[in-house]
Amino acid sequence: MESKVVSTNGKELRSVELSEAVFGLPINDDVVWYAINNELANARVGTACTKDRGEVHGTNRKPYGQKGTGHARHGDTKSNIYVGGGVSFGPKPRDFSYKMPRKAKQLALKTILSQKAQDGTLTVVEDFTVASGKTKDLVALLRQFVDLKKPERTIIVLKDDDPMLKRAARNIPWLSYLSYNRLRAHDLFYARRVLMLESAAKLLNEFYAE
């Protein structure tokens, strides 16, 4: 399939060939859901921790006698029913991450790219950079593609790590960036607009080649 390459001024320059195996696949909702949940699980810190009755500070002395008080019997004040006592079945540090098959992960990313290409939210842009590293210069470039009065979540797909462009983009809350070989399903799926550099589009054809 072919896509138009747009200049930073919004003019059509030429056409670029996009692989059907990457940008022309049918939508597979199940594998996309699996990939997004895998990324969210892997991002969880899992440091929540509570103390049980054996870990809280306190004495082992009985708070009062076993009999004759009219109260229920208690062994110590570290029980979970006391203020300051232990927590029953509370969370402990754990690892929520799990591995996803590589081919399934790639299929999810290709499915999302195909969906963006089919619904018209993916735009191939000529290669550009922000030599100054200033946010205002990047915003001036994006003015052709994004309504700055009501900006939508936007992703720029890069061919490599561009430190100056990343420096300019880090102060824009609705903009993020990804390298073509380190895509994230969650960010791509929820992006309202994907701006892909021409060189990144060509590299994706080779990167996901069977």
> Hey, which residues does 125 pair with through a beta bridge?
6, 197
Tell me the helices (H) and strands (E) count for the chain, helix number first: 7, 6
**Domain span holding position 165:** 2-28+102-207
In a domain, 90, yes or no: no
**CATH number of domain containing 178:** 3.40.1370.10
Number of structural domains (the chain) is: 1
pTM of the model: 0.82
* pLDDT tens over the chain, length 210 residues: 788 888 888 788 888 888 888 888 898 899 999 999 999 999 999 999 999 999 999 888 999 999 999 999 999 999 999 999 999 999 999 999 999 999 999 999 999 999 998 888 898 988 888 888 899 989 988 888 888 888 899 999 998 888 888 898 888 999 999 998 899 999 999 999 999 998 898 888 888 875
Alpha helices, DSSP H only, in 143-197? 163-169, 185-190
| 3-class state of residue 123 by DSSP | strand
In a domain, 59, yes or no: no
